[in-house]
Amino acid sequence: MSDKRLSIEEAVATIESGMTIGIGGWGSRRKPMALVREILRRDITDLTVVAFGGPDVGLLAAAGRIRRLVYGFVSLDSIPLDPLFTQARERGGLEIEEYDEGMFVAGLRAASARLDFLPIRAGLGSDVLPANPHLRTVQSPYSDAEYVAMPALPLDVALVHVNRADEQGNAQYLGPDPYFDDLFAMAADRTIVSAERVVPTSALLDEGSFHTLLFSRIYASAVVEAPRGAHFTTCAPDYDRDEAFQKHYAVSAKDPEAWAEFERTFLHTDEAGYQAAVTRFHTDRGES
Amino acid sequence: MTATRAEVAAVACSDLFRGAGTILASTVGIVPTIGARLARLTHAPDLLLSDGEATLYADTPAVDEPFREPEAPFAYARLFELIARGRRHVVMGAAQIDRQGDQNLSAIGDRDHPSRQLLGARAAATNTVNHATSYWIARHSPRVFVERVDVVTGVGPARARAAGADRFQDLRRIVTDLAVLDFTGPAGTVALVSLHPGVALDQVTAATGFPVHIPADVPETRLPTDEELRLVRERLDPRGLRDREVTAS
C-alpha cells in the first residue's frame, strides 16, 4: 500500500493560489494550525476558504490570503470573536458567503455525494438568502413545501488535523467530537491529513475503539506528522486549548505594534521555530 | 427571602421549559443556563443537557462546574440532525431584535463593510424554523431592541410566514433583565408579557427602540419559590455569576 507521508512543506506545496480549501475542526477546536502556518509562510493567495472558522480564518484573513470566505461563524470559543477576522471584515474587501451552520453542513453533504444541492428548511426567511443572490429554493414534488436548495460546497483540497493516522491516511480522532472532518474530506478532491502521531495501522486501536476511526485512506491523499499541529486550538486528549497563548494572540491582534511583534516571534519562522517560541512564551510567564 | 432581578430572570428562564418533556435544552448565557438546570431539578426532570460540546450529561452541576456523568455522546453532526428533527428548545442571545421578532447575531451595519462584525449567522436560521426558540437579553436597551435589525439571522413570525417556513416555527419568549416578552402582538410582533417586580412600564417602553405591544393586562413576573431560590443560591450558582450578567438588584 502506498505510503502517503509527506513533510509539511511538501504537502502544502501542492496547494495553489486560487484554490478552494476546506479547513476542518470547529472554531478553536482541532484546527490544522500547522498546515495553516505553512500556508502563511508560502506565497499562496487568492484562496476561497470554507470553514467553521476560528484562528485559522483570522490568520489567513489578516495575511490577505483569502479572496472569498465561506463560513457560518468565526469564533475562538473561550473568546467569542476573533479580532483578526472582525478587523478584516470591518476594513472591508473580504468577500464573504455567510451561511447558517445547518446550511453549511448541507453544502458539504451535497458535495460529498456529488449532488448539486440538498434541500434544507433552514435559511428561509433569513437574510442568508438575499445576501447570497445565487441561492435558489426548490419545490417539493410531493407537497406544497418549499426548501432552500443549498448548493454543494466542493473543495479542491481539505486540510484536517487528527490525533492519529497511519501512513496510508486512515485517520483517528481520540477527542470528544469528530466535528465535520470526515465531511470535509469527502467533499474534497484531495485531503491533507496532519496528525499528532503517525502510527502503524496495527497500533490504531491501541488508544481508541474502532469507532474512533473517522475516515479511511480512501479519502486521504497526504499524511503529515505534526506534533502539536493543532496548537493553540484544542486537540483533546493530547492537549487542551492553550488559553494563555490564545489570549496573547487575541490581545496582540488588537494592536498593530503588538501584532508585528507576534508575527516576528511566532510566524516568521518554521514549525519547529514556532513550537520553540511557544515553549519560551510559557517559560517566560513562569510556567514550566 | 427577597429575590434579586437575576433570580427573577433565571426563574422566568426555567419557566420557558414547562411541559417540555424529553428534549434538549440549549442555552447561551449564565441566567438561561441556571434556568434550564433549575427546570431539570424541579418541574422538567426529563430535559436533556449538554456541555455545549459533544456530550449529554445526566448530572446537573453548578453553572461554573463541569458535568461529571456522561449520558450519551452528542457530536455536532448529531446536533444538526436533532435540530431538523425538532426535539430542542434553544435560548439564544441577540445583538439586535426588532419589532417583527427578527434577530441578528451576524454583524452591525452594511454587509460588505460592517461597523461591527459579530459571530456570523451561526445556526439561528436553522433553530428558528425547526423548534422552540427563546431569547435572553441581559441588558434590555434600545441598542438591542431596534426598529429593524441590520441582518436577519433568527427569523421572526412574519418573515417565516411569508417564506412558507412557519410549519415548525415555535417562537416562545424573550426574557430580559426588565421583563418577559413574546411574539403575540399584531401580526406576530413583540409584545409585553410581564414586568419583573420593581420595574415600571415606562422603564420598559423607554428601553425598547420600537413601540412594543402592551396588552390590557400586564402582570408581574412571578417570584421564585423558596425552593427555587435555595437551588439557585446553594446548588446552581453559589458563586453568584448571575449578578455579573444582570447588574440591577
Instruction: Tell me the backbone φ, ψ of residue B220, rounded to 5 degrees.
Output: -85, 140
Q: State whether A125 and B116 contact (CB < 8 Å).
A: no
Residue listed under C-alpha cell 426598529:
B147
Query: Residue B150 and residue B209: Cα distance in Å, rounded?
Result: 14
Mean pLDDT of A150-166: 98
What's the pLDDT at B52? 86
Residue A1, pLDDT score: 75
Asked whether residue B1 carries a pLDDT value surpassing 70, the answer given is no
Nearest-CA distance from A235 to chain B in Å? 13
Q: Please indicate if any CB of chain B lies within 8 Å of the CB of A218.
A: no
Residues 164-203 of B with CB under 8 A from A: 164-165, 167-168
A191: pLDDT confidence band, cut at 50, 70 and 90? very high
Per residue in B172-182, pLDDT (tens digit) is 999 999 999 99
Predicted confidence (pLDDT) per residue in A108-147, tens digit:
999 999 999 999 999 999 999 999 999 999 999 999 999 9
What's the gap in Å between the CA of A169 and the closest CA on chain B?
22
> Quick one: which of B164, B97, B169, B158 has its CA closest to B132?
B169
What is this model's ipTM? 0.92
The 10s digit of each residue's pLDDT in A240-286 is: 999 999 999 999 999 999 999 999 999 999 999 999 999 999 999 98
- Interface check for A81 against chain B (CB to CB < 8 A): the answer is yes
Identify the band that residue B248 occupies on the pLDDT scale cut at 50, 70 and 90. low
B13-27, B103-117, B177-191, B216-230: range with lowest mean pLDDT: B103-117
Chain A residues with CB inside 8 Å of B159's CB? 125-126
B130 touches chain A (CB under 8 A): yes
Model confidence pLDDT, tens digit, residues B95-150 = 999 999 999 999 999 988 999 999 999 999 999 999 999 999 999 999 999 999 99
The answer to whether residues A73 and B122 touch, using CB atoms and an 8 Å cutoff, is yes
Distance from CA of A41 to the nearest CA of B (A): 27
- The model carries a pTM of 0.95
Dihedral angle over CA of B181, B186, B189, B194, nearest 10: -10
In the prediction, which pLDDT does B249 show?
Answer: 47
Provide the shortest C-alpha distance from residue B89 to chain A (in Å). 16
Return the percentage of chain A with pLDDT > 90, whole number. Answer: 98
Question: Chain-wide mean pLDDT for chain B?
Answer: 96
Q: Which of B53, B115, B163 sits opposite A177 (nearest CB)?
A: B53
**Beta carbons of B120 and A53 less than 8 Å apart:** yes
Q: Are A106 and A149 in contact (CB under 8 A)?
A: no
